[in-house]
Amino acid sequence: MPAPWPLTPITAEERAAYADAEPRPYWLAALPAREPSPPLRGEVEADLCIVGGGFTGLWAALHAKADDPGREVVLLEAETIGFGASGRNGGFAIGSLTHGLENGIARFGKEIELLERLGRENLAGYVADIERLGIDCDLELTGELTPSVAAYQDDWAAETAELYGRFGYDVEVFPDAAAMRAEVDSPIYRSGAWVKDAGGVLDPAKLAIGLADAARRAGVHIYEGTPALSIGDAGAPPRGAGAGAGSGRHAADPPVAVRTPAGAVIARRVVLGTSAYPSPLRSIRHYVAPVYDYALMSEPLTSEQKRSIGWERRQGIGDGGNQFHYYRLSADDRILWGGFDAVYRRGGPVGPELDDHDATFGRLAQNFRVTFPQLEGVRFTHRWGGAIDTCSRFSVFFGTALGGRVAYAAGYTGLGVVSTRFGARVALDLVDGRDTEATRSRYVRRKPVPFPPEPLRSAVIQLTRNRMAAADRRDGKRGMWLGLLDRLGLGFDS
């Protein structure tokens, strides 16, 4: 039995469900109004310049100040804090550093024990930091639930229990449709597995703003509306800056100039957290394909509607398909419903004009009704999209440039809400020349296989997307192309 998605034309009723939705990420729209920090004007000196005001940049700023409160840290954000993926994601806060255990074992086999331990330590540190910094971001540690929605996914629940159980996770299996539907009620569910301690869900925009506030309190200078245009040698070391321990090891190195439209940061070290956006370092672009992912947010459910689906334990849900939906409840019982289509456009453009995509919203609205027919009539209040920094290994990778004075972390591939805290730590350790078990690992030292240049890149990604959709229609049979990629350890995900 194939996946249950109709793939029939979108009806007027289905379109009406989202037609009036505000075309803006719900999380950002729901934030209280705030005045952004003014843009950078003129030249400033710093020990560390961070580019990007998403989770990677914000955690890097907080780690840097925790390492050395005296370090001068400047953060540049092209738009506003949380404008990128960090303010528009599903809010699934999952601890894995490897995009799940299966992918981790397949790609990093020998290091999986280390990466699992580092991932758990990172998740524990993440929860503790949110608490310590007093950030109210509606974090609920409810785990991750994967229902089977097609016969070929049925074995997955038992396999998950075995695999995750072996690594010490607490897994509950719903062995059949009745058990699964008693947990969350959808007529398409056949069985499922709930990894209870995988992480949870949160409000990502509240987290981004909370991290930025904490960074400001720690003395980080944040400039919003300030794109970094170029990064290069600045010449002589900056005067005065650099007393902090973090910069001591290479205190005599020439500084780096990060040029902006109306000024520059002259810094000893630079950390880049620019994700799917065109990086000021062109070399990153070989490894990252910006893939658009779309989501709808429903109006709050009434208590009767909520009762009709159960979902008392409020897990984050992702169905078991190659083309999968992810969905979760918000604090006020809306349903965020996203995924399924992942859209790559030739040349990899990123920009607000790509945030609205009617074809995908139509498909999402249609599949929502198939999943929860009892919620017929529920409308969506927000619709949006965002660029995912997809790389061929599905997990963050790292690199340095300008003789080690610049480091970056990118390529989280749709699972960066928690792992950005780890990515930021590693990027900072690389740029500070710290030797840790993480910086020594192959996971950190190795890069993913690069994507081919255009026009081959879009052709290969499109072919892979088509084959994945076909596999869902054909009882999961992956066929020659996906089989070849599997054997080469390559892939495409969002």
Ligand X SMILES: Cc1cc2nc3c(=O)[nH]c(=O)nc-3n(C[C@H](O)[C@H](O)[C@H](O)COP(=O)(O)OP(=O)(O)OC[C@H]3O[C@@H](n4cnc5c(N)ncnc54)[C@H](O)[C@@H]3O)c2cc1C
Least CB distance to ligand X at residue 377 (A): 26
Whole-number Å distance between alpha carbons of 440 and 187: 48
Whole-number Å distance between alpha carbons of 412 and 36: 27
For position 476 contacting ligand X by CB under 6 A, the verdict is no
For position 57 contacting ligand X by CB under 6 A, the verdict is yes
Token pair in block for residue 423: 């990515």
Binders of ligand X: how many residues, by CB under 6 A? 40
Least CB distance to ligand X at residue 153 (A): 20
Token pair in block for residue 106: 């397949």
Site for ligand X in 338-377 (CB under 6 A): 338
Q: Which is nearer to ligand X, 63 or 181 (CB)?
A: 63
From 147, 414, 448, 491, residue interacting with ligand X (rule: CB under 6 A) = 414
Residue with tokens 């600045």: 234
From 122, 142, 160, 275, residue interacting with ligand X (rule: CB under 6 A) = 275
For position 88 contacting ligand X by CB under 6 A, the verdict is yes
For position 323 contacting ligand X by CB under 6 A, the verdict is no
Residue 132 CB neighbour total at 10 angstroms: 10
Between the CA atoms of 142, 144, 148 and 149, what dihedral angle is there, to the nearest 10 degrees? 80
Whole-number Å distance between alpha carbons of 396 and 103: 13
Alpha helices in 313-455 (DSSP H): 358-371, 419-431, 437-440, 442-445
Q: Which residue is nearest to ligand X (CB)?
A: 416
For position 293 contacting ligand X by CB under 6 A, the verdict is yes
For position 386 contacting ligand X by CB under 6 A, the verdict is yes
Least CB distance to ligand X at residue 162 (A): 25
Which stretch in 89-97, 108-116, 213-221, 399-407 sits in contact with ligand X by CB under 6 A?
89-97
Q: Going by DSSP bridges, is the β-strand pair 380-390/335-343 parallel, antiparallel, or unpaired?
A: unpaired
Q: Which residues contact 380 (CB under 8 A, 6 or more apart)?
A: 17, 18, 21, 296, 297, 298, 299, 337, 365
From 28, 161, 388, 431, residue interacting with ligand X (rule: CB under 6 A) = 388
Least CB distance to ligand X at residue 336 (A): 9
From 74, 85, 101, 297, residue interacting with ligand X (rule: CB under 6 A) = 85
Residue (of 443, 425, 335, 436) closest to 115 by Cα position: 443
Least CB distance to ligand X at residue 76 (A): 5
Least CB distance to ligand X at residue 440 (A): 23
- Helical pair 112-132 and 419-431, crossing angle rounded to 10 deg: 100
Site for ligand X in 90-119 (CB under 6 A): 90-92, 94
Which stretch in 62-70, 210-218, 363-371, 408-416 sits in contact with ligand X by CB under 6 A?
408-416
Question: Taking the CA atoms of the chain, what radius of gyration do you get in angstroms?
Answer: 22
Which stretch in 108-116, 119-127, 166-174, 412-420 sits in contact with ligand X by CB under 6 A?
412-420
From 175, 227, 300, 450, residue interacting with ligand X (rule: CB under 6 A) = 227
Residue (of 482, 418, 460, 349) closest to 211 by Cα position: 418
Residue with tokens 């030292």: 445
Q: Which residues contact 492 (CB under 8 A, 6 or more apart)?
A: 390, 392, 461, 464, 465, 468, 485
Cis peptide before 39 (omega within 30 of 0): no
Least CB distance to ligand X at residue 480 (A): 30
For position 322 contacting ligand X by CB under 6 A, the verdict is no
For position 143 contacting ligand X by CB under 6 A, the verdict is no
Which stretch in 2-10, 79-87, 137-145, 169-177 sits in contact with ligand X by CB under 6 A?
79-87
For position 420 contacting ligand X by CB under 6 A, the verdict is yes
* Binding footprint of ligand X on the chain (CB under 6 A): 51-57, 76-79, 83-86, 88-92, 94, 227-228, 273-275, 277, 280, 293, 295, 338, 386-388, 412, 414-417, 420
